[in-house]
Chain A
Amino acid sequence: MNRFAELLDRLAYESSRNNKLRMMTDYFRRVEDPERGYALAAMTGALSFTHAKPGVVRALIAERTDPVLFDMSYDYVGDLSETVALMWPTPQRAHQDRRNAAPPTLSEVVHALEQAGKTDIPRLLADWLDDLDETGRWALLKLITGSLRIGVSARLAKTAVAALGDLQPNEIEEVWHGLEPPYIDLFAWVEGREPKPDARDPAPFRTPMLSHALEETDFRNLEPEDFVAEWKWDGIRVQAVTGVDATGRRVQRLYSRTGEDISNSFPDLVEAFSGEAFGELTIDGELLILRDGLVEPFSILQQRLNRKTVSTKLMTQYPAHIRAYDLLAENGEDLRPLTFVERRERLEKLVSRLAHDRLDLSPRVTFADWEALAAARRDPASAGAGADAEAIEGVMLKRRDSIYVPGRPKGLWYKWKRDPYNVDAVLMYAQRGHGKRSSFYSDFTFGVWRGEELVPVGKAYFGFTDQELLQLDKYVRNHTRNRFGPVREMDFSRDEGLVLEIAFEGLNRSTRHKSGVAMRFPRVSRIRWDKPAREADEIGALEALLKVTA
């Protein structure tokens, strides 16, 4: 566990992809089986421990620490696992008898958790936490609560394994689906000790094609008739793959755009695509939540992301749906060498033949010239998107003759996002942030004028630079009028207060907010040190916008 913890620790601080690879490859080279295989499983998301929940960890630490000291510490550190890892009372100092207990290996942890019942967990965990050091405890808690967050994708971990031998990452992908932790046969093959594990992936991931952001100047060189436009939907880009394995069993997988297998979070979709009619397909599309035929906002989709298991209630309440953009393969035929228009034709035929309510076609946006497209982008509701306009982030432009090129090729696909809206608001309340921003005042509630009164309209916690964060933090500390628990109320009036220029993507009516509006994706775009509070915007400006965007 210690070596694995040390690896996770270093990966968490390293931003360079190449250096991450070197760290992982070095680890795989120096650590023996099966330990390294479980590490690979942890990093590719192949492990999940159903009984080990954050609640168990909270209960354990509550038994062992003073609640006041715990709260102070948690407030300072900003992360539960890390606070517990650091605060855990060390028996090494208190009871000499445990001093020589060897810390558990990762393999021991995995095996024990697999076999343990719910009631065994607290004792197991407590013993391990006693025997590990701070970094080990942190890694253990991150591992069992399923949130490593070390900036390593499954793909990167596999690339590191490939580098052990002289293999390409795709060669690992080809055999991956047939392998199980701790991947003894995989390492044996990569290190040249045994032949390649026999596995043809019946539902492989194909690297998706990505677009470039459109610059205003690009229009000079682009001809409208060369392009097809579609809405850019505000969901998550996915790849739905169906196939048949060697035993004749049907296989369905859902991949994120980085190749993470997210099928477990969407059993409803997996089930929907299990019919014979689905044959062997690779569909590129957007994952959305649809209710009564309408696309739900991203905040609703978020309820279903990053879950290892999903309740029936959640699936009924938020049914998942795929809006298809492209078709990469159909019944053994690789369609990627075809042009976009040819693939689109195949896709349209397929979607209408399947006629499944979980799958539809991303509609085309018709336009005569760039002016017309700009108008559609400004106001999708009037350009065919109707009530779904809120779920649209902008438009996509795809060259009619573009073949499907994995990666982000130049000159073929463009995204043209909507301009953000802006409003000048007054900082009203501030709270300390979590994670990287813990101990800084970095959660800001801001408001606009309604007559002589400020009404809160939203909350922003990013958009500023680290330098600006320090300035904002200082401002908050020096201009606090009241404290309500962790919340500081600022000095604000017609004559006093800090104006923040807030950028946001859209506006919804809200019964939860006093102001009656809720912003989507608000962030601080500028700090208006120069602007007096009385000149901040009025609520009327937002209400007018509501009429336009609704």
Chain B
Amino acid sequence: MSLSDLLTLTPAGLYCPEADVHIDPVRPVPRALITHGHSDHARAGHGAVMATPQTLAIMALRYGEDFCTTRQPADYGEIVRVGSIDVSFHPAGHVLGSAQIRLKSSKICAVVSGDYKCARDPTCAPFELQRCDAFVTEATFGLPVFRHPDAAHEVARLMESCRLFPDRAHLVGAYSLGKAQRVMKLLREAGWDRPIWIHGAMEKITDFYQQQGVDLGEIRKVTAADRPKLAGDVIVCPPGQLTDLWSRKFPDPVAAFASGWMRVRARARQRGVELPLVVSDHVDWDDLCASVVATGASEIWVTHGAEDAIVHWCRMRGLDAQPLHMIGYGDEDVENMAAGEANE
């Protein structure tokens, strides 16, 4: 039995005929399983949606309560029979509520990773590796040059810069869902005790994290009048704001950007970043390779990212690997750099 008997690729995305569900579909479908709340994976307009309770809540925050017809929460580890398939959601360690989706038929067990990371993240449940026959993985950072350092080290660099430039505002570009809160939490763990300022666009989602028990300390929304006064402070904002007119009102702002892309200098320069912080919510190359091996899967599909390198790596190890070249998900480099606000 091969994976293609369980899953097929349709224009809307991955589809499982036996359960009659799409996974992270990029266009409206009758029945969808959603891995996590980033907008390229979780879109509005589906009929029935099954996801973790946090992901459903995040979708409602972003799209309004009527983002789908019916919703069904799935707790981590709970097995739900859909058609002839046992479906279960398992922590992916990507953002709050993110999940890998496990699909088990009588003949094959497959795991669709969604976006995931193995590195420590104090704002969400840690990645739980699932053994399976077939593994459908992302490869956003699927090149051996992407090795993410300890995120605490990067936050220490941010704090060191605040020491060196107490007269400058430190603007940290970070994706609104997940990355922003992770950076704030890491700052708190490193002993940053001043209020952390945020751009209005991330207020709702940050409140949601706090309600979910992620203690971020004192968070203040930046108003126009505050901007000139924030020398020596850290302001977290959507990446697109770094180069926006909005940022110029701060005292001699330092443009920092928390992203796995910051590992490569040319990427950081293209965005005019002065303090690149290599903080990623995706697996890096080493963890990607290690995860592929640890699942025990003999068949690997690569959904999006730098597919070619990981497919090559798998084939060198005798694994049956296929690139899916799926469009519609995040991070194709140029689009990402251009759009600025794409979800990492």
Are A and B interaction partners? yes
Interface residues of A (CB under 8 A from B): 6, 10, 12-15, 19, 22-23, 26, 65-66, 68-70, 72-73, 76-79, 82-83, 86-87, 90, 93, 133-134, 435-440, 466, 470, 473-474
Check if B273 sits within 8 Å of A13, measured CB to CB: yes
Enumerate chain A residues within 8 angstroms of B334, measured Cβ to Cβ. Answer: 439-440, 470, 473-474
16 A-B pairs within 8 Å (CB atoms) are namely A10-B161, A12-B265, A13-B273, A13-B274, A22-B165, A23-B164, A68-B309, A69-B144, A69-B313, A70-B144, A72-B312, A83-B145, A86-B144, A86-B147, A86-B264, A90-B286
Enumerate chain A residues within 8 angstroms of B316, measured Cβ to Cβ. Answer: 66
Check if A436 sits within 8 Å of B266, measured CB to CB: yes
Give the number of residues in B that approach A within 8 Å (Cβ atoms): 32
Enumerate chain B residues within 8 angstroms of A69, measured Cβ to Cβ. Answer: 143-144, 309, 312-313
Enumerate chain A residues within 8 angstroms of B276, measured Cβ to Cβ. Answer: 13
* Nearest Cβ on chain B to A392's Cβ, whole angstroms: 34
Check if B274 sits within 8 Å of A82, measured CB to CB: no
A80–B333 CA distance with the chains assembled, in angstroms: 20
Contact status of A79 and B165, CB under 8 A, knowing A13-B275, A72-B308, A90-B147: no
Check if A65 sits within 8 Å of B144, measured CB to CB: yes
Contact status of A439 and B266, CB under 8 A, knowing A72-B308, A93-B286, A470-B338: yes
Q: Which residue of A lies closest to B337 (CB)?
A: A470
Check if B144 sits within 8 Å of A77, measured CB to CB: no
Among B146, B333, B334, chain A packs the most CB atoms within 10 A around the CB of B334
Choice from B147, B266, B273, B337 contacting A435 with Cβ under 8 Å: B266
A466–B338 CA distance with the chains assembled, in angstroms: 10
Residue B211 lies at the interface, judged by CB distance under 8 Å to chain A? no
Residue B221 lies at the interface, judged by CB distance under 8 Å to chain A? no
Contact status of A77 and B264, CB under 8 A, knowing A87-B145, A133-B149: yes
Check if A76 sits within 8 Å of B143, measured CB to CB: yes
A77–B265 CA distance with the chains assembled, in angstroms: 8
Contact status of A436 and B270, CB under 8 A, knowing A13-B276, A69-B313, A86-B264: yes
Enumerate chain A residues within 8 angstroms of B268, measured Cβ to Cβ. Answer: 13
Among B164, B165, B308, chain A packs the most CB atoms within 10 A around the CB of B164
Enumerate chain A residues within 8 angstroms of B270, measured Cβ to Cβ. Answer: 436, 466
Residue B81 lies at the interface, judged by CB distance under 8 Å to chain A? no
* Nearest Cβ on chain B to A20's Cβ, whole angstroms: 11
Residue B157 lies at the interface, judged by CB distance under 8 Å to chain A? yes
Main secondary structure of the interface of A (DSSP, over half): helix
A200–B172 CA distance with the chains assembled, in angstroms: 49
Enumerate chain B residues within 8 angstroms of A439, measured Cβ to Cβ. Answer: 266, 333-334
Enumerate chain A residues within 8 angstroms of B309, measured Cβ to Cβ. Answer: 68-69, 72-73
Interface residues of B in 273-293 (CB under 8 A from A): 273-276, 286
**Per-residue A-contact encoding for B304-340, CB less than 8 Å = 1, 0 else:** 0010110011001000000000000000011001100
Check if A78 sits within 8 Å of B266, measured CB to CB: yes
Q: Which residue of B lies closest to A25 (CB)?
A: B164
* Nearest Cβ on chain B to A160's Cβ, whole angstroms: 13
Choice from B144, B149, B313 contacting A87 with Cβ under 8 Å: B144
Residue B263 lies at the interface, judged by CB distance under 8 Å to chain A? yes
Enumerate chain B residues within 8 angstroms of A473, measured Cβ to Cβ. Answer: 334
A12–B308 CA distance with the chains assembled, in angstroms: 31
Residue B269 lies at the interface, judged by CB distance under 8 Å to chain A? yes
Among A15, A72, A93, chain B packs the most CB atoms within 10 A around the CB of A72
Check if B266 sits within 8 Å of A438, measured CB to CB: yes
Enumerate chain A residues within 8 angstroms of B338, measured Cβ to Cβ. Answer: 470
Check if A79 sits within 8 Å of B265, measured CB to CB: yes
Contact status of A82 and B265, CB under 8 A, knowing A73-B143, A133-B149: yes
Enumerate chain B residues within 8 angstroms of A22, measured Cβ to Cβ. Answer: 164-165
Check if B273 sits within 8 Å of A82, measured CB to CB: no
Enumerate chain B residues within 8 angstroms of A474, measured Cβ to Cβ. Answer: 334
Check if A79 sits within 8 Å of B275, measured CB to CB: no
Q: Which residue of B lies closest to A66 (CB)?
A: B316
Enumerate chain A residues within 8 angstroms of B273, measured Cβ to Cβ. Answer: 13
Check if A10 sits within 8 Å of B275, measured CB to CB: yes
A235–B337 CA distance with the chains assembled, in angstroms: 38
A223–B338 CA distance with the chains assembled, in angstroms: 50
Enumerate chain A residues within 8 angstroms of B145, measured Cβ to Cβ. Answer: 73, 76-77, 83, 86-87
Q: Which residue of A lies closest to B150 (CB)?
A: A133
Contact status of A436 and B269, CB under 8 A, knowing A86-B147, A90-B147: yes
Check if A13 sits within 8 Å of B164, measured CB to CB: no
Q: Which residue of A lies closest to B266 (CB)?
A: A438
Q: Which residue of A lies closest to B309 (CB)?
A: A72
A12–B269 CA distance with the chains assembled, in angstroms: 9
* Nearest Cβ on chain A to B282's Cβ, whole angstroms: 16
* Nearest Cβ on chain A to B252's Cβ, whole angstroms: 8
Enumerate chain B residues within 8 angstroms of A79, measured Cβ to Cβ. Answer: 265-266
Enumerate chain B residues within 8 angstroms of A76, measured Cβ to Cβ. Answer: 143, 145, 264, 306
A71–B161 CA distance with the chains assembled, in angstroms: 35
* Nearest Cβ on chain B to A478's Cβ, whole angstroms: 12
Q: Which residue of A lies closest to B290 (CB)?
A: A93
Interface residues of B in 226-258 (CB under 8 A from A): none
Check if B275 sits within 8 Å of A19, measured CB to CB: no
**Per-residue A-contact encoding for B17-41, CB less than 8 Å = 1, 0 else:** 0000000000000000000000000
A77–B267 CA distance with the chains assembled, in angstroms: 9
* Nearest Cβ on chain B to A129's Cβ, whole angstroms: 13
* Nearest Cβ on chain A to B123's Cβ, whole angstroms: 25
Q: Which residue of A lies closest to B271 (CB)?
A: A466
Check if A77 sits within 8 Å of B269, measured CB to CB: no
A279–B143 CA distance with the chains assembled, in angstroms: 60
Other A-B contacts than A73-B143, A133-B149, A436-B266, 15 sampled, CB-CB below 8 A, are A6-B157, A13-B269, A13-B274, A14-B274, A15-B274, A26-B164, A65-B144, A72-B308, A76-B306, A77-B266, A90-B286, A93-B286, A134-B147, A436-B269, A473-B334
Enumerate chain A residues within 8 angstroms of B157, measured Cβ to Cβ. Answer: 6
Enumerate chain B residues within 8 angstroms of A26, measured Cβ to Cβ. Answer: 164
* Nearest Cβ on chain A to B59's Cβ, whole angstroms: 31
Q: Which residue of B lies closest to A82 (CB)?
A: B265
* Nearest Cβ on chain A to B325's Cβ, whole angstroms: 14
Enumerate chain B residues within 8 angstroms of A68, measured Cβ to Cβ. Answer: 309, 312
Q: Which residue of A lies closest to B267 (CB)?
A: A439
